[in-house]
Amino acid sequence: MSRLPVRKTYKLYINGAFVRSESGRYDETDTVNYPRGSRKDVRDAVAAARKAAGPWAARTAYNRGQILYRAAETLEMRSQGDEAAQAVDVLVHYAGWTDKFQAALGGINPVAAPFLSFSVPEPTGVVGIIAPDAPPLLGLIAELAPVIAAGNTAVAVLSETDPLAGLDLAEVLGVSDVPAGVINLLSGRRPELATALAAHRDLNAIVDAAGDPELAAELDRLASETIKRTRHTSAATSYEVAVADALERIEATTELKTAWHPVGA
């Protein structure tokens, strides 16, 4: 007996759940439909990321590394191809950085006074990521992994031309150990979602890898209204590119906290 195949239904990934766009809008490829996120979906994603930010930052660096490594394991089991393999390696690489960047970015500050002054890096908070169109999976993970490794939570706008790789990643995250709200993935029209994200007053930083100069200028303008940190970069096209400046990528979404402690009598 012949049967009809069960077609895949793609959804947004917000707060650890697979949800339809609140607008009910969809875009389509040659084979499947996928949700077109709205400004309301952006607000929901930022709210989820904000709620998760404190508990995620409070986890030990070692534990965050374990969770990133588990995400790499899950992606390895559920994906094939060279791009997926390189994305797995990027996750493993940044899993190894979670308990090392503090020593590289922080330190003891020399002061001419009877005080001990030291600086330690802390996560910026909620970070918006504008993923490149290509490569859709590796380009996304190259920006997402350092943000999460540094202790931030993320709201990512996926590739506009090929969002399915990012939406498939959501299914990997859903069965890994990444807590709800730490990573939120939105598909749809980039100009609509990226500007709504940059304008959100509860967002702390933006990482833009879209490679669109006009969009970059608009993101800078919106970010300046609330003094968000903004990093513009080109798409990572290989594992080597994604990890060559690993410490710089991590530093872009951290803040240095300096403490003074009296010494002597």
pLDDT tens digits, residue range 207-262? 999 999 999 999 999 999 999 999 999 999 999 999 999 999 999 999 988 887 78
The mean pLDDT of 122-140, rounded to a whole number, is 98
CA distance linking residue 152 with residue 142, whole number of Å:
15
Residue 26, domain member (yes or no): no
- How many angstroms separate the Cα of 159 from the Cα of each of 164, 232, 251? 8, 16, 24
Question: Could you tell me if residue 234 is inside a domain?
Answer: yes
**What residue type is assigned to position 216 of the chain?**
A
Identify whether 79 is part of a domain. Answer: yes
Q: What are the angstrom distances between the C-alpha of 143 and each of 54, 150, 234?
A: 21, 12, 10
Query: Is residue 14 in some structural domain?
Result: no
202: domain range? 49-105+125-256
Question: Does a structural domain hold residue 57?
Answer: yes
Domain assignment present for 167: yes
Asked whether residue 264 carries a pLDDT value surpassing 70, the answer given is: no
Whole-number percent of the chain with pLDDT over 90: 82
Pairing of strands 153-157, 183-186: parallel
* Mean pLDDT calculated for residue range 171-188: 95
| pLDDT score, position 25 | 92
pLDDT tens for each residue of 37-80: 999 999 999 999 999 999 999 999 999 999 999 999 999 998 88
152 lies in a domain? yes
- Give the range among 69-73, 97-101, 106-110, 122-126 with minimum mean pLDDT: 106-110
pLDDT of 84 over the 70 cut: yes
Domain of 173, CATH number, reads 3.40.605.10
The structural domain count of the chain equals 1
pTM, two decimal places = 0.94
User: Is 16 part of any domain?
Assistant: no
Instruction: Return d(Cα 171, Cα 188) in angstroms, integer.
Output: 18
